[in-house]
Structure 1
């Protein structure tokens, strides 16, 4: 039954002192690094989703438990319906909806304040694969978006969400506060901020 497999010879690890970390094998990221370095790719990591009918406080707790600041909203059929961010829930959007509709804040659902897929602006996977971190950074700075959805086309021309790029991931990669980057007036200023570890 096991004829196609073989025993591997186990090695002695008593003389091994070091643990390898990504920072030891990857060059430091810069604005010229490939944009794919900051994309969460759903072929490798599953998207964190939330049903459209969930109450917003439950959705916020789910975000916290998953260590994300954005959730992909799915409808009753499991299809992509939109996105909702921590800012949407904790900001004035939920309160305004409750006030306008005469309901308690606890009754506001994800579907009420999410950003619908009908209004989401995205980048294609091809654009991202051909771009640098700086290109994406400049695009997000110009749009004011904290997240950018990445789409591609699967078999038979089916469009799908392939991944997401978040401001916080760019910030983590470059080791610079994204707020500081948003305040920069020129691209040269952004490069200077990155080169000096967040200081002008």
Structure 2
């Protein structure tokens, strides 16, 4: 620790007020969408490698109090997204059964939503979009997350989740997810 130095401190005795928040405490559907965006230029994305076993991934997500992570390969290339609900869903047993493997051998890559099934929009669209616009888009797509693309760099710039909107607005949000395969459609019909 010889390369560091102490920062001078100040007494708090005469401090009575807080700095005004950059964004208002009370958001609404008309508030700018940028206010609820997870911007990867300011905060690194939460990622998990595709070969992590589902039980380990679920444990890590619960410990970190996160509901979703972006899935990457060993070279940190974006592959998709996985949510805690994916890790606890019928997908795990369905994959284990289809591949004739034990449930504890199923990996994040086996149950993630592949990037081919994900949607996003240009980060620049946030300049004119409201939280309500984002929520409407998520509901129309039947998705819990929307990704933000930096078109200049062809890179992921951020993400907005339905859970973040619900938390920010203090409202329940129910988004019906869409099935991507006949097996998923069959499971939805069977459980209805």
- TM-score, length-normalised on structure 2? 0.80
Which runs of no fewer than 5 residues in structure 1 stay unpaired?
A: 1-7, 184-200
Whether the 8 Å CA contact 1:48–1:66 is kept in 2: the answer is no
Instruction: For residue 125 of structure 1, report the CA deviation from its aligned partner.
Output: 0.4
Say whether residues 1:92 and 2:87 are aligned partners: no
Instruction: For residue 65 of structure 1, report the CA deviation from its aligned partner.
Output: 2.1
Instruction: For residue 120 of structure 1, report the CA deviation from its aligned partner.
Output: 1.4
Once the two structures are overlaid, the 10-residue window that deviates more, 8-17 or 165-174, is 8-17
Partner of residue 160 from structure 2, selected from 136, 142, 165: 165
**2:125 counterpart residue number:** 127
Please give the alpha-carbon distance, in whole angstroms, between the structure 2 residues aligned to 1:11 and 1:101: 62
**1:16 counterpart residue number:** 15
SS at match of 2:149: strand
Partner of residue 71 from structure 1, selected from 66, 69, 72: 69
**2:29 counterpart residue number:** 31
Which runs of no fewer than 5 residues in structure 2 stay unpaired?
A: 1-6, 177-192
Please give the alpha-carbon distance, in whole angstroms, between the structure 2 residues aligned to 1:9 and 1:52: 45
Instruction: For residue 69 of structure 1, report the CA deviation from its aligned partner.
Output: 0.9
Instruction: For residue 12 of structure 1, report the CA deviation from its aligned partner.
Output: 4.8
Change in 2 beyond 3 A, CA 1:116/1:14: same
Please give the alpha-carbon distance, in whole angstroms, between the structure 1 residues aligned to 2:9 and 2:47: 41
SS at match of 1:178: coil
Q: Which segments of structure 1 move beyond 6 Å, counting only runs of 4 or more?
A: none
Instruction: For residue 73 of structure 1, report the CA deviation from its aligned partner.
Output: 0.8
Root mean square deviation of aligned Cα: 2.4
SS at match of 1:73: strand
Whether the 8 Å CA contact 1:53–1:109 is kept in 2: the answer is yes
Say whether residues 1:57 and 2:52 are aligned partners: no
Please give the alpha-carbon distance, in whole angstroms, between the structure 2 residues aligned to 1:19 and 1:169: 24
In the TM superposition, what whole-angstrom CA distance separates every residue of 1:108-157 from its partner, at most 9, and x where no partner exists? 01111111122211121012232000101111122221111111134xxx
In the TM superposition, what whole-angstrom CA distance separates every residue of 1:56-85 from its partner, at most 9, and x where no partner exists? 111111211222111111112111111111
Instruction: For residue 43 of structure 1, report the CA deviation from its aligned partner.
Output: 0.8
Instruction: For residue 17 of structure 1, report the CA deviation from its aligned partner.
Output: 3.4
